[in-house]
Amino acid sequence: MSDNEHLLDSKCLSADDVLLVPQHGELSSRDDAELYPFIYSAPMDRVTGYELAKILLDAGEHAVIPRDLPAQEWHKCAKELRSHPNVFFAISPKEEFLSQFFSYMKDYGLTGVNVAIDIAHGDSSMAYHCSLKLLHEPLVNKIMSGSVATPEGALRCYRSGCTHIRIGIGPGSRCTTREMTGFGVPQLSAVYNINKRLHTEAGVARHGITLIADGGIRTPGDAAKYLAAGADAIMMGSEFSRAIESPGWEFQGYAPPTPGEDGSVRFPAPPPTPIYGKSFRGCASAEHQGDHKGQASACPEGTSVELQYDGHTTAQSVIDRYRRGLASAVSYAGRKRLQELGPSIPMIQITRAAQVEGSSIA
């Protein structure tokens, strides 16, 4: 048994609980690291709209179009992005939504569409029945599962036709499922255990499945840990919600002029700086439910936070930061390409003191 197996088979861990151990470097520069597309945007109405999706796709990454975008923007995405191989459309597993979705796709003359089953409990009969129906639908190409956190759930999704497995019950920054229900699996262990089972289960060709770590990703270092645990890709909501191209920003006024050290204001004053803000909310938050269902659950499994645009974050800057971080991770791992950043990279459990030592806290 490897050190990683001994660690992760005996404990349930999150990304903050571990560090990857540096290995002898093979690259002369991190710029030489070979990457592949590994980023998916979350299908959230304040994350992925047409503008952000277009930038992701142009960069060679993946966009998942939310099913609850404003109708005009959803149809723009369907009309202009539908033929791109890296775009997925989130769909409800409910029969009435499926019928409407396929009607729209037929109207656009579309074949080979990628779909993401948008359900919080992906290991459910409703999700399986939806996947099996999609499997026999000639319009559909790839199928992304709903959210799962166990090897058994991932296997059931695979066997019902899913090509992409979305991993994560409760790790997202706006998700409160674990607090409201008590259910979930620490994300690093969830990824590791699912990858291991799919590798070892008889009859399952792991290379034919894409594992996506969804939620709990705040830094490129988190992404590196999830890929080292066995994921093929990451899905991000919070990071992209801060990009100016994400939906929902509203003009809130102008920032007051900044006085000089002596308290005076420069004249003539520079052009006023516009301020943009929005609410970023989980799909199961009371605010989101109120907007899209007309009423909120008595026990919502998501929260909202008010954001103000920082003046410089773009979708491309987020992509560049994560690509740069993962290129460095490949170098520290002693590898040459991102495909080699897997469970063979040594991983150690750390203390809270070690977390603080390695953080940016002064």
Catalytically annotated residues: 175
Instruction: Kindly provide the residue ranges of all beta strands, DSSP E only, lying in 4-69, ordered along the sequence.
Output: 18-20, 39-41, 63-65
CA atoms within 13 A on the CB side of 2: 10
Q: What CA–CA distance (Å, rounded) separates 204 from 90?
A: 26
Residue 112 Rama label (left phi>0; alpha psi -120 to 50; beta): left
Position 142, amino acid: K
Which candidate, 117, 116, 89, places its Cα nearest to that of 104? 89
Q: How far apart are CA 186 and CA 317, in angstroms?
A: 29
- C-alpha distances (whole Å) from 49 to each of 53, 94, 215 are 6, 23, 19
Q: Round to whole Å and give the CA distance between 207 and 232.
A: 10
Q: Which of 6, 30, 27 is nearest to 18 (CA)?
A: 6
Give phi and psi for 36, each to the nearest 5: -130, 165
* 78/246 Cα distance (integer angstroms): 17
User: Any residues with CB less than 8 A from the CB of 9 and at least 6 apart, and which?
Assistant: 1
The Cβ of residue 154 has, within 10 Å, a number of other Cβ atoms equal to: 28
60: alpha, beta or left? (left if phi > 0; alpha if psi -120 to 50): left
